[in-house]
Chains A and B, each alone.
Chain A
Amino acid sequence: MGKVLMKGNEAIGSAAIRAGCRYFFGYPITPQNEVPEYMSRHLPEVGGVFVQAESEIAAINMVYGAAGAGGRVMTSSSSPGIALKQEGISYLAGARLPCVIVNVMRGGPGLGGIQPAQSDYFQATRGGGNGDYRIIVEAPSTLQEAVDLMQESFDLADRYRIPVMLLCDGMIGQMMEPVELREADRRPPVEKPWATVGTGGKRKPNIITSLYLNPAELEELNLLLAAQYREITERETRVESIGLEGARVVVAAYGTTARIVREAVDLCTAKGIPVGLIRPITLWPYPYAEFDKIGKDCLGVLCVEMSMGQMLDDVKIAANGRWPVHFYGRTGGVVPDPRDIAREIEVIAGRRPV
C-alpha cells in the first residue's frame, strides 16, 4: 500500500484499528476530536464498538471493563480530559490491565487553551494517579512514527499487561502528512488467561481488582510491578540521536519540538557549530543511557520543550552533573521559533554573548 495524506488524529485512529483495536470509549475535546470521529465511523465496519461516554471518567472506566474482558481497547483525550482519567489509569495499572491512551496535548493548567503544548510530561511520566505505578509513554514526532507506535503500543500493553500512553501535541493531531498504513503483522494474539470471560463452569473465576487489603499481598503486587518496570526499562527504551560524538552542544527534545530543533540545528551547522540531538521516543522508560554517548567536546546540554521545563528533570538526571543543563521553552500554545533556539545554542557554544 502506498502513502496516503492523512490528518494525524485520523491516522492514529486508522492505525489503532489495523493494530486490532476493537473498542473505543471517549468524550470529545479539542484538539483530538478527529480520533473519536474516525473511530465512530470505522469501528462498526470491523465489528468493533464505539461509545461516546457521558464523561472522561466514564470512558476510562469503560476501558477498564473492556480490558478486563480481554479486549483490545483504547481511549483518547486532551490534557484536561486526561487529568480526569487519572484515577482510572491508576486503577488500570493496579489491576494490570492492558490498554492504550492517546493524549493530544493542549496548553494548561486548568482548561488552558487549545493550541499545541507539551506541558503534560509530568502528568504522563510521573503519574497523575495515586500509587507506585508507571505507564509506558511514547512520543511520536512524525505521523508515520505515530502510526508505527500505535501498533507497538497495543503489543507492549498486552505483553506487559500495562497501560500505554501515546503522547502527542496538538500539531501531531491536526497536521497532515503522508503515511504508509502497513498491514498489521499477523502476530498471534497474546493469550489472556487472566481475562474475565466466563469460567464455563470449568475453573475458578478470575478476579480483576486493584484492591488488596492485606499489606503483604499489596506489597507483593508492588514488587511484581517494580520487577516488570525494570524489565520494560531494559528492553523497551526507544530513542533517536544524531551527532553526539563531536557535538559542542547537545539538544534534547521530543515530539514536534524535536522537528523544530532540527531546523535550529541546521542553522547552527551552517555557522560551523557542531550540534547533537537526543530525541527520546519513549518518555518512560527514559533513555538516560543515551547521554553517555555524548562526546568530550560538549559544553552544555539544552533541553527544549513546549512547557516551562518538565522533561528538564530527566535531562538533569541523565546529565548527572557532567555538563551544565540549559533550558529553552515556549508554552501556552506558543510554538518555539528555530531562530530563537539557534541563538540559545550559540550562547552555550560561546559564539554569542549571554
Chain B
Amino acid sequence: MTEKVIIAGFGGQGVMLSGMLLAQAGLLRKREVTWLPSYGPEMRGGTANCHVTVSSRPIASPVILAPDCAIVMNLPSFDKYERQVVPGGLFLVNSSLVTKRSGRKDFRVVPVPVNELAQELGNAKTANMVMLGAYAGVSGALDRELFIKALEVIGGKKDHLLIDANVRAFDCGMEYVTGGYCGEIGA
C-alpha cells in the first residue's frame, strides 16, 4: 500500500509543514515515508511544493510524477498538477483562491474554501490545517490522533494554544468534507 501526495501552493501557505505532518504521521504508524521539498529561491509569495510518499514497503524514488492525490492551494499549482494526478485519484482544491473547474472526469475533485474557513475560525494562517483535515476526511489516509501526535513531534508539546488552533482547523476541514460542518461558508 503506497500513497503518493503532492502539496503545492504559494510560499507562506504552509504547504511544507502540511507535508511534514503527513510524513510524521506516517512514521508514527510505522510506515516508510519520504518528504521531498522544492527548494531554492522560493520565498513568501513564490511557489512551493513537497512530495510526500507513505508506504508499507521501502520507497524507491522520493520524486512523485503521478500522485494519488494533489492538494493545490493556488492557481499555478492547479494548472501544474491537474494533469499529473492518476485516474481515480484525488484533487483537493483551495476554492478560496481557485475558481477554475477541472476538465477531467476520471478523478475526484474536492473544492474546499480553506481561507474563508480558517478566517471564520479566527486564524487565517491555519488554512493549511483546514486543508489537511479535508484531505484526512476525504481520503481516510490520515488519522486525527496521529495528526495531533505528529503536530506535537514537529511543533513541540509546549505550545498548547498553537496545537489547539491547528487541531480546530483540522477538525473544521474534516467536518466540511464529511458533512458535519455547521458554519455558513461555501454551504
Using CB atoms and an 8 Å cutoff, list the residues of chain A in contact with chain B: 3, 5, 30-31, 114-115, 170-171, 174-178, 256, 259-260, 262-263, 266, 335, 337-339
Contacts and interface: CB of A to CB of B under 8 A. Distances in A.
Nearest to B153: A5
B33 A263 contact: no
18 contacts: A3-B27, A5-B23, A30-B39, A30-B40, A114-B41, A170-B39, A174-B36, A175-B35, A176-B20, A176-B34, A177-B33, A177-B34, A256-B62, A259-B59, A259-B60, A260-B60, A338-B65, A339-B65
A278 to B, nearest CB: 16
Nearest to B41: A114
B24 interface: yes
B148 interface: no
Contacts of A5: 20, 23-24, 27, 33, 35, 153
B35 A176 contact: yes
A114 B23 contact: no
B32 interface: yes
A178 B61 contact: no
Given A5-B27, A337-B65, A338-B65, 8 more contacts: A5-B35, A114-B41, A171-B63, A174-B36, A175-B34, A175-B35, A176-B36, A177-B35
Given A5-B20, A177-B34, A114 B61 contact: no
Given A5-B20, A30-B39, A178 B27 contact: yes
Nearest to A338: B61
Given A259-B60, A262-B60, A262-B61, A174 B39 contact: yes
Interface in B86-107: none
Nearest to B30: A3
Contacts of A171: 36, 62-63
Q: Which 5 A-B pairs have the closest CB atoms?
A: A176-B35, A262-B60, A260-B61, A175-B36, A263-B60
A178 B32 CA distance: 8
Contacts of A170: 39
B37 interface: yes
Contacts of B24: 5
Nearest to B20: A176
A5 B32 CA distance: 10
A244 to B, nearest CB: 18
